[in-house]
Amino acid sequence: AQSVTQLDSQVPVFEEAPVELRCNYSSSVSVYLFWYVQYPNQGLQLLLKYLSGSTLVKGINGFEAEFNKSQTSFHLRKPSVHISDTAEYFCAVSEDYGQNFVFGPGTRLSVLP
Amino acid sequence: DVKVTQSSRYLVKRTGEKVFLECVQDMDHENMFWYRQDPGLGLRLIYFSYDVKMKEKGDIPEGYSVSREKKERFSLILESASTNQTSMYLCASSLSSFTNQPQHFGDGTRLSIL
């Protein structure tokens, strides 16, 4: 069965600085990968997804992620963050021919002025 | 855009009460899901449904049941609420059974059991 690790529970960063949120997964089969963002008191919103093809995936709000099969990683990056990016970010994986998503524990990004 | 609507944003109930959480999606999605979200634990799947009147247990079904009488509506039921069920509950839907389909979430119901 698949599992997802997000090594950083909290990431503080100054406004306009770059950020990387790390996600690693374990699975023995092909996977699909997703990043979601959750703003305070809201549900989860899809940021981007990797299904196949190019390993560099661009999403909404200037975020991108790179799928690295050999390292079983799918790290999320943004070159310059804004205050409005303060939120919790969840990585999720689903297996080909599997049943459901598995979500990581989340990373709380705090953008400081 | 997909709209997933949860009937209540905040709910306060008493121990032992039967509690209903309602979720409606407007995009004719086949799949619907109920999660609970707790700090440090991420999202944990309670139940899901691939079709009307069909349900499958997730990772933490104990103390919960579900109902899906119509395709657009998926209800979560706490048979006898307990304080350890105080949590944020999130409903989601996805287009089909293919696992490459993203899930779309409602805004959540923050449930407090006193």
pLDDT of the residue at B96: 78
Please indicate if any CB of chain A lies within 8 Å of the CB of B43: yes
Which chain B positions have a beta carbon within 8 Å of A8's beta carbon?
Answer: none
Which chain B positions have a beta carbon within 8 Å of A36's beta carbon?
Answer: 105
pLDDT of the residue at B41: 84
Say if the Cβ atoms of B99 and A100 lie within 8 Å: yes
pLDDT of the residue at A1: 66
**Which residues in chain A land under pLDDT 50?**
none
| Average pLDDT score over residue span B63-87 | 96
User: Where residue B91 falls among pLDDT bands split at 50, 70, 90?
Assistant: very high
| Average pLDDT score over residue span B51-75 | 94
pLDDT of the residue at A100: 72
pLDDT of the residue at B95: 86
Say if the Cβ atoms of A100 and B92 lie within 8 Å: no
User: Where residue B26 falls among pLDDT bands split at 50, 70, 90?
Assistant: very high
Share of chain B above pLDDT 90, in %: 75
Comparing A6-15, A18-27, B23-32, B92-101, which segment has the lowest mean pLDDT?
B92-101
pLDDT of the residue at A102: 87
pLDDT of the residue at A10: 95
pLDDT of the residue at B68: 96
Strands (DSSP E) along B1-114, which ranges? 4-6, 10-13, 19-25, 31-38, 42-49, 56-57, 64-70, 73-78, 87-94, 104-105, 109-113
Residue B88 phi, psi (nearest 5): -95, 130
Q: What sign does the dihedral A22-A27-A29-A32 (CA atoms) show?
A: negative
Say if the Cβ atoms of A94 and B45 lie within 8 Å: no
- β-sheet bridge partners, residue B73: B24, B70
User: Where residue B97 falls among pLDDT bands split at 50, 70, 90?
Assistant: low
- Is the model more confident about B85 or about B40? B85
Q: Which tokens go with B96?
A: 């089909």
The C-alpha atoms of residue A73 and residue B83 are separated, in whole angstroms, by: 37
Average pLDDT of the residues of chain B: 92
